[in-house]
Structure 1
Amino acid sequence: MDSKHQLIPSEPPPSYDEARKSPLAHSRSPSGTSGVKRPPPGPPPPLNLPFLNELRKSRIVLASASPRRRQLLAQIGLTKIDICPSKFAEDLPHSLGALNYVLETASAKAHDVYKTEINNTERGEPGIVIAADTIIVSHDGRILEKPRSEADHIAMLKMLRDQGEHKVMTAVAVMRPLESATEPGYNMETHVEETNVKFDGDVSDETILAYVRTRDGNDKAGGYGIQTAGSILIERIEGSYDNVVGLPLRATLKLIEKVMEPEGDVHDEDFFVDSREEDSD
């Protein structure tokens, strides 16, 4: 069977009513048709939320080439996305500290793409720009990004195994142009999500080498993908799974909702709590 068809169910999922009925209720009638009407085939409908419905009428720009982030956005029904990777060098000094480093990098990516796309005469200005940056913070506080070579990749995974625990930090920045002339001409909301990850301390060097040679982790911060074969290295996580994949979806949805609110709305309190406190490690 073609691998791309293995993920597609042979039949649509049952309706709620059908799922609650006994197996006898699903038997075929003499005419060969099911006794219960099944829903139409295909994926489930997108989230029916007013701010998302409004956003789907406009241009959604993702300032990232990551297929994983695009797939995560599709889970909330944002499928028509323009991929416009940021050209920001991502060379901020690590001396900023992990939280400031990842937040400033994501914000710089958003600004970089926003400045390019706001005057796009062919496609029109974006409804929103979504940018993100993911880093690994080792147990001893080092910022890890994508491995530079096979040797670096092996050493990175061995260090994460030997240290036991690390953090995955993803900063998300969402920008929306304002219709008014209010400075600076856009609204931007940001959030930093943290997830604690525990590596399996019994993973052998042989297993690490075998994983590295799959090339699965080459393009991922920390050198592994939890949603692919890299899951064999992980014992457990505490926090958002999507954050480890590359985009904390719950937090991103809240950022989108906030920037899509009518201009001039006043908020008495921050949307998120404790996401911007400096790491004490």
Structure 2
Amino acid sequence: MIILASASPRRRELLTQIGVPHTVQPADIDETPAANEHPEDYVVRMARSKGLVVASSLRIPATVLAADTSVILNGQILGKPESPEHHRAMLEQLSGNTQQVLSAIAVVTGDRCDTRLVTTHVTFRQLDEVLIKRYLECGEGKDKAGGYGIQGKGAVLVADIHGSYSNVVGLPLAETAVLLEQHGISYWQT
């Protein structure tokens, strides 16, 4: 059993998919990027911070898994949409362009914290105004980094993907499994 330092239902589903029993204890941290912080450094710092904060709050020792995912376009972090207008602008920016989806994973056991950074390249098809309007109306992407969900209706926005699909969903499973194994946690548990 591990502690998942995330409220993301997608991360819970992905852990369940690979048979890792877990409980959820979201981390409450400031997720503001530091001035001039590179996106790669940001996601690693967020994952480590989430894992360490939750681990330090536990009454009994346990293994904590934390993750952070960001969508990067032209070196800029695209967070979650702040308003319908921001969401529209985000989709317009992504239209016809290739973005990087960065996920950092941190696994904390006692004083040990190991991290991995995974990058997936996602290319959006050219989005016309009608498609953007329809996607905004479905409401799916308003709570997701980059403003879309590849595992849902947003799949039709994607023309090409290079790298880990589960990374784009929010938790790169192959790298997560390796880190968990290194901390004595097996997957495919029944």
For the superposition of Structure 1 and Structure 2, which TM-score range results when normalised by the shorter chain?
Answer: over 0.9
Counterparts of 1:57-68 in structure 2 under 5 Å?
59-68=1-10
Structure-2 separation of matches of 1:135 and 1:95: 16
Larger radius of gyration: 1
Q: Does the Cα contact within 8 Å between 1:157 and 1:223 map onto a contact in 2?
A: yes
Q: Which residue of 2 aligns with 1:104?
A: 45
Indicate the structure whose relative CO is greater, using CA pairs within 8 Å and at least 6 residues apart.
Answer: 2
| Unaligned 5+ runs, structure 2 | 186-190
Q: Which residue of 2 aligns with 1:194?
A: 119
1:125 matched to 2:61? The reply is: yes
Question: Which of the two has greater strand per residue?
Answer: 2
Normalization by structure 1: what TM-score? 0.64
| Aligned residue pair count | 185
| Unaligned 5+ runs, structure 1 | 1-58, 178-185, 262-281
Counterparts of 1:219-230 in structure 2 under 5 Å?
219-230=143-154
* 1:260 Cα offset (Å): 2.0
1:86 matched to 2:27? The reply is: yes
1:255 matched to 2:176? The reply is: no
* 1:89 Cα offset (Å): 1.2
Q: Which residue of 2 aligns with 1:175?
A: 108
Question: Which of the two has greater helix per residue?
Answer: 2
Q: Which runs of 4+ in 1 moved over 3 A?
A: none
Q: Return the letter of the residue paired with 2:180.
A: I
Q: Return the letter of the residue paired with 1:187.
A: R
Normalization by structure 2: what TM-score? 0.93
Structure 2 CA distance for partners of 1:231 and 1:141, relative to 1, 3 Å: same
Identity over aligned pairs, percent? 40
Please give the per-residue CA displacement for 1:22-75, whole angstroms capped at 9, x wherever unaligned.
xxxxxxxxxxxxxxxxxxxxxxxxxxxxxxxxxxxxx41000000100111111
* 1:94 Cα offset (Å): 5.3
